[in-house]
Amino acid sequence: MKLGKQQGNMLRLYNTLTRTIENFQPLHLNASVSMYSCGPTVYDYQHIGHMRRYVGDDMLVRVLKYNGYKVDHVMNITDVGHLVSDSDTGEDKMEKGARKYGKSVWNIAKKFEKQFWISIDELNIKRPDYVMHATDYIADQIALIKILEEKGYTYRIDDGVYFDTTKFKNYYQLSRQNPQALKAGARVDIVAGKKHPEDFALWKFSPKNEKRQMEWESPWGIGFPGWHIECSAMSMKTLGATLDIHTGGIDHINVHHTNEIAQSEAATGKQFVRYWVHHNFLVVEGEKMSKSLGNFFTVQDVVKKGFNPMHLRYLYLQTHYRQEMNFTWESLEAAGNAYDRLVKEIATFTSSSGGAKQFEQQFTDNINDDLNIPKALATVWELIRSDEALPARAASLSKMDTVLGLNLFATAVKQEALEIPQSILNLVKEREGLRKIGDFAASDEMREKIRSLGWEVSDTKTGPEVSPLRS
Residues that bind ligand AMP (CB under 6 A): 41, 49-50, 52-53, 248-249, 251-252, 281-282, 289
Least Å distance, CB 224 to Zn ion, is 16
- The verdict on 261 binding Zn ion (CB under 5 A) reads no
**Residue 41 binds which of ligand AMP, Zn ion, none (CB < 5-8 A, kind-dependent):** ligand AMP
- Minimum CB separation from Zn ion for residue 15, in Å? 18
Rounded to 5 degrees, φ, ψ at 244 are -70, -50
Q: Indicate the SS3 state at residue 217.
A: coil
Q: Which residues pair with 132 in a beta bridge?
A: 76
Binder of residue 289, out of ligand AMP, Zn ion, none (CB less than 5 to 8 A by kind) = ligand AMP
Q: How far is the CB of 38 from Zn ion (least distance, A)?
A: 3
**How many residues in the shown chain lie near Zn ion by CB under 5 A?**
2
Whether the Cβ atoms of residue 346 and residue 412 lie closer than 8 Å to each other? yes
Q: Which does 315 bind (CB under 5 to 8 A by kind): Zn ion, ligand AMP, none?
A: none
Ranges within 222-251 binding Zn ion (CB under 5 A): 231
Nearer to ligand AMP, 86 or 401 (CB): 86
Q: Looking at beta carbons only, is 52 or 313 nearer to ligand AMP?
A: 52
Q: Which neighbouring-strand residues pair with 223?
A: 205, 216
**DSSP three-state, residue 203:** strand
| Sequence-distant (≥ 6) Cβ neighbours of residue 298 within 8 angstroms | 45, 46, 47, 48, 115, 119
Q: Which is nearer to ligand AMP, 59 or 289 (CB)?
A: 289
Indicate which of ligand AMP, Zn ion, none lies near residue 329 (CB less than 5 to 8 Å, by partner kind): none
Of 413, 402, 369, the closest CA to residue 126 belongs to: 402
The item of Zn ion, ligand AMP, none sharing an interface with residue 52, based on CB under 5 to 8 Å by kind, is ligand AMP
Q: CB of residue 259 vs Zn ion: minimum separation in angstroms?
A: 9
Strand order in the sheet with 160-163: 154-157, 160-163, 200-205, 223-225
Minimum gap (Å) between residue 248 Cβ and ligand AMP: 6
CB of 258 to ligand AMP, least distance (A): 14
3-state DSSP call for residue 330?
helix
Smallest gap from Cβ 252 to ligand AMP, in A, equals: 6
| Residue 170, phi then psi, degrees to nearest 5 | -95, 40
By C-beta, is 39 or 97 nearer to Zn ion? 39
Instruction: Pick the closest to residue 233 from 272, 183, 176 (CA basis).
Output: 272
Element (H, E) at 340: helix 329-347
Out of ligand AMP, Zn ion, none, what residue 62 binds, judged by CB under 5 to 8 A for its kind, is: none
Which residue's CB is nearer to ligand AMP, number 282 or number 315?
A: 282
Q: Count the Cβ atoms, other than its own, within 10 Å of residue 334.
A: 15
Binding flag, residue 38, Zn ion (CB under 5 A): yes
Residues 398 and 361: their CA atoms lie apart, in Å, by: 14
Shortest Cβ 368–ligand AMP spacing (Å):
24
Q: Could you write out the three-class secondary structure of 56-81?
A: HHHHHHHHHHHCCCCEEEEEEEECCC
Binding site for Zn ion (CB under 5 A): 38, 231
